[in-house]
Amino acid sequence: MFFIYLRRELRRRRKAALVVASGLALGIALVIVVTSVSSGMKQAQGKVLESLYGLGTDMTVTKAQEKPEEGAQPAKPRFRFEAKGEEDEQSSDRLMVQGFETLADSTVDDVAQQDGVADAVGGLSLINVKVSGDFKPGEIHTQRKGLQMGPPGEGEVRGGGADFEVDSFTIYGTDVTQPELGPLTSSTITDGRTFKTGETDARVAVVDSAYAKKADLKVGDSVEIKDEKFEVVGIATADSGQASANVYIPLKQAQTLSDSKDKITTVYVKAADSQQIGAVKSAIQKNVPDTTVTTSEDLAATVSGSLSTASDLASTVGKWLSVVVLVAAFLVAGLLTSSAVSRRVREFGTLKALGWKSGRVTRQVVGEALVNGLIGGALGIALGLGGAYLVTAVSPTLTAELGPGLGGGGGMGGMVRTFGGPGGGKGPEGAGKTLDIALNAPVSPTTIGIAVALAIAGGLIAGAFGGWRASRLRPADALRRVA
């Protein structure tokens, strides 16, 4: 009897049911779209952070910034040239630690022993700078004084000068025995191969595809680092944005060539539990002195640009808008259901006169509202999936601007800002790195579950309004309406 009466009433009141269901559908669809876009924002931020430090890295450990002594000058690269002849062609090749800050490689073991650390690996971030060119001495033109020449040594120097070229590229010394962590994991080998675990002393290199194209390098060629030749065994393409370094070589070779024996610049850390990253960070800071621990959350705070703006809108304005629309939809559904009950006073009064209990009338009204809610939920899920699919199909491009020193490889430091990016040339002071990320809106089963729960909740709320109104009806009201 319940379902027969329910079906009849829903068919008889199709327009009212459609209005209630549509209001709930809009609110639920908006929740799905906003939740999906927010999830896409998190994925986009994850891609940005992976492009900095590599897949699987939850935090990095670097040397703590030391306060310089009063009057002390910060370390700066120096290039010295000696005069050799009238026209000197000279060059100087320097391999330097980026940022000039290093840790002992024993720090990796210290970090790995901390509670909550699943794995840790060290790396050395370097920059190779080659300055080459020639000097040309000027000529002294002696000035005349009347009919006589001036004294020897007096005169004007004309011509001469120097013409030098600066070529630089970044290098990352990677621990080939642990390939699962570090910046190279954010790139895919598209030609050749990656390092073998036994190539700790080998003079082999993996080159970023963008740099390989610029320098006209391919697998089998050689790249020169501080007058030493390394065979290119693989070409790596960054999965998103720019690569962390132009050239990757075994860590031991990087330490030897840069006179940084037993030194590293960064420890890449993977936590055993992603929910305990804060506790792991605290443990490392407490037990490993003179270090700075940077988590992915810390890095996310440095990301600006349209990605950051869109993420803020999705997490604040979007969520609050969803809440407001849902509350409005629930209230409208409740009020419409209550209004419909008021218009059915004679009907419900007659049913009570025929023996229906108040509880049965209430259950009938709640059942109708619940079905309306489920219909609205189905429509809302369909609309929400359509909206999320549209966002994914369009894939709007967002820009992520990273703060200075976060260009990859454990902190690019002052050298990158001084000599610019790959290929040399001075860049803007303090410039960071810009990535373009395509936005997707993935819909998870959890989001669908939330939508179903909202549909049921909306139906129950609407039913509560109507049930409360129906429970207060008396058979006498029906008799008065009939009269």
Q: What is the pLDDT of residues 267-278, one digit of tens each?
A: 999 888 877 888
Q: How far apart are the C-alpha atoms of 84 and 20, rounded to whole Å?
A: 91
Q: Does residue 333 have a pLDDT over 80?
A: no
Q: Does residue 245 have a pLDDT over 80?
A: yes
Q: How far apart are the C-alpha atoms of 372 and 334, rounded to whole Å?
A: 11
pLDDT value at residue 369: 77
Contact at 8 Å (CB) between 460 and 366? yes
* Residues, the chain: 483
For the residues 230-237, what does the mean pLDDT come to?
94
For the residues 454-471, what does the mean pLDDT come to?
74
Q: How far apart are the C-alpha atoms of 123 and 109, rounded to whole Å?
A: 13
pLDDT value at residue 314: 62
Identify the residue with better confidence: 439 or 257.
Answer: 257
Average pLDDT, the chain: 75
For the residues 307-319, what does the mean pLDDT come to?
63
Q: Does residue 191 have a pLDDT over 90?
A: yes
For the residues 45-73, what does the mean pLDDT come to?
68
Q: How far apart are the C-alpha atoms of 416 and 266, rounded to whole Å?
A: 16
Q: Would strands 161-174 and 156-158 be described as parallel, antiparallel, or unpaired?
A: unpaired
Q: Does residue 285 have a pLDDT over 60?
A: yes
Burial 238-262 (b: 16+ CB within 10 A, else e): bebbbbbbbbbbbbbbbbebbebee
Question: pLDDT digit string (tens) for 363-406?
Answer: 777 777 788 778 888 888 899 899 889 988 888 877 766 655 44
Q: How far apart are the C-alpha atoms of 285 and 111, rounded to whole Å?
A: 10
Q: How far apart are the C-alpha atoms of 145 and 185, rounded to whole Å?
A: 74
Those residues whose C-beta lies under 8 Å from the C-beta of residue 327, and which sit 6 or more positions away, are: none
Element (H, E) at 352: helix 345-353
For the residues 247-270, what does the mean pLDDT come to?
91
Question: pLDDT digit string (tens) for 343-375?
Answer: 666 776 677 677 777 777 777 777 777 887 788
Backbone dihedral angles phi then psi of residue 195, each to the nearest 5 degrees: -70, 150
